[in-house]
Every structure is written in structure tokens, then in C-alpha cells.
């Protein structure tokens, strides 16, 4: 089933690229930097059938899965407490699936895909930086309270048949854009089909910062699958543009 889906994906990609005859390459204003201490990123996995995590995500959602919130700088001087991990597990177990936050670790397959990965993310990026379990969870689940997040991270895989990058992970937050993998910004970038759409969104490198905006992702990806999480997205919708990039 996975191989068949991948072949269909590549076939659709090649077909859509063949209809796109104008590919002027502009000089990119994006520079690639290593992670700096001030960056923060709310990271998502996209359902790419050829990517290991993407294929696992696709078993649960055709839109997205949450990776977690990455923080690289101490935010408070709070000392870790003995029961932090236990308290976080209690809190996250009831909320994780609301935002497609799954643990794909073998030991969690029989526990509703929770909570080894989620707890590890809290320890590494929350507890280590002075955040309580509640404070770290608010970083993750209060995404709708602000539109002030830039695309700061994408992970791509190279598809030589189409001479194109497929975006398998994306992160929004603070910091310089970091791209992992691929052949540089002069090549094309695409998102895998999301939801019920068979349309593949095609971007040039210089469009990444402007087209892959957080308001667009919230309205058309997160709220597209989970509208009950988004009772008021007017502020997002006004700055998100259309469904197609």
C-alpha cells in the first residue's frame, strides 16, 4: 500500500510540474544558519509516504502530526522537580491526540501512541529550560493565540525523478530559517497532498518565507482537519491567503 501511494504521489507531482512551464529563479533572500540559542520552533510532520515519520503520520492523519515545541535557551531559573515527568505525562495523555501529537516509539504502540516521545520533548526543551509541565504544554497548545510565528525550519527529501524537494517537516517560531537536506534553494519545493486534496503545492526557494506562513498553516491545515480547535480564526484567515499557495 505504501509503495502504491508513493508511486501515485510521484506521478501526480510529475504531471503537475509538466504543466508549469515558467520557472524563473530569483536570487533568494533566505540564508541558512545553524540553530542559534534564541530560536524556538513549533514543529510538525507532514504526511509524506516516502519519509519514515511521514508514513507513520499518514496512518493517523492526512493533514499533519505534531513533533513538539523546541526551545534552545533557558527561559526561567526554575529547578527540575522530581515529579515533573509524571505530572507532564498525566497532563499530556488527555490532550496529545487533540493536536495529533503521537509517539511512534515501539513501546507506545499499545498505549495509544503516548507518551515516551512527548515526555522526552518536555524534558529536553521544557524542563531543561526552566518550564513547568503546564508552561510547556501552553507553548504547544496555545498556538492559536498568536500569528507572530515565521517559518524557521523545514526538512526536505530530494526526488530526482522530478528534480524537486518534498517538504516532510515544517516548523514555525522565532529565528533564522534552517533547511535540512536537499539540493539548495534554486530547486523547486513541494508540499505533499494534504487532506483530501490531490493538488500538490509547488514553490520556488525564494517563496518559502512568504508562502509558507503560519496563519495559512493554522487555517488550512490544522483547522482544516480540526475545526473545533479553531472557534475564532478571523485574525488568521485575514492574513493566511487562499487554500492554494
Average pLDDT over residues 148-165: 93
Percentage, residues of the chain above pLDDT 90:
67
Dihedral (CA of 11, 12, 15, 21) sign: negative
The answer to whether residues 229 and 98 touch, using CB atoms and an 8 Å cutoff, is: yes
**pTM for this prediction:** 0.83
Nearest to 191 by CA among 218, 211, 161, 219: 211
Question: Which pLDDT tens digit goes with each residue over 60-105?
Answer: 999 999 999 999 999 999 999 999 999 999 999 999 999 999 999 9
SS3 string, 54-65, reads HHHHHCCCCCCE
Question: Which pLDDT tens digit goes with each residue over 196-218?
Answer: 877 788 999 889 988 999 999 99
Question: Average pLDDT over the chain, rounded to whole?
Answer: 84
Q: Where are the domains of the chain?
A: 40-145
Percentage, residues of the chain above pLDDT 70:
79
Gap between the Cα atoms of 127 and 220, Å rounded:
32
The answer to whether residues 202 and 79 touch, using CB atoms and an 8 Å cutoff, is: no
Amino acid at each position: 500500500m505504501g509503495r502504491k501511494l508513493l508511486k501515485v504521489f510521484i506521478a501526480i507531482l510529475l504531471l503537475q510540474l509538466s504543466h508549469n512551464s515558467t520557472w524563473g529563479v530569483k536570487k533568494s533572500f533566505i540564508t541558512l544558519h545553524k540553530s542559534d540559542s534564541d530560536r524556538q520552533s513549533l514543529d510538525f510532520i507532514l504526511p509524506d509516504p516516502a519519509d519514515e515519520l511521514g508514513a507513520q503520520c499518514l496512518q493517523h492523519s492526512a493533514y499533519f502530526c505534531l513533533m513538539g515545541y523546541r526551545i534552545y535557551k533557558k527561559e526561567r531559573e526554575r529547578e527540575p522537580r522530581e515529579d515533573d515527568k509524571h505530572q507532564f505525562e498525566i497532563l499530556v495523555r488527555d490532550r496529545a491526540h487533540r493536536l495529533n501529537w503521537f509517539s511512534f516509539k515501539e513501546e507506545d504502540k499499545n498505549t495509544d501512541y503516548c507518551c515516551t516521545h512527548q515526555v522526552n520533548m518536555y524534558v529536553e526543551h521544557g524542563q531543561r529550560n526552566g518550564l513547568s509541565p503546564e508552561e510547556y504544554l501552553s507553548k504547544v497548545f496555545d498556538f492559536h493565540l498568536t500569528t507572530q510565528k515565521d517559518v524557521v525550519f523545514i526538512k526536505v527529501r530530494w526526488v530526482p525523478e522530478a528534480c524537486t524537494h518534498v517538504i516532510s517537516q515544517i516548523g514555525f517560531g522565532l529565528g533564522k530559517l534552517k533547511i535540512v537536506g536537499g539540493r539548495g534553494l534554486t530547486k523547486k519545493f513541494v508540499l505533499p497532498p494534504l487532506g483530501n486534496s490531490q493538488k500538490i503545492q509547488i514553490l520556488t526557494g525564494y517563496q518559502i518565507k512568504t508562502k509558507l506562513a503560519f496563519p495559512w498553516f493554522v487555517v488550512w491545515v490544522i483547522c482544516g482537519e480540526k475545526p473545533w480547535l479553531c472557534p475564532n480564526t478571523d485574525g488568521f484567515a485575514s492574513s493566511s491567503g487562499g487554500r492554494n499557495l
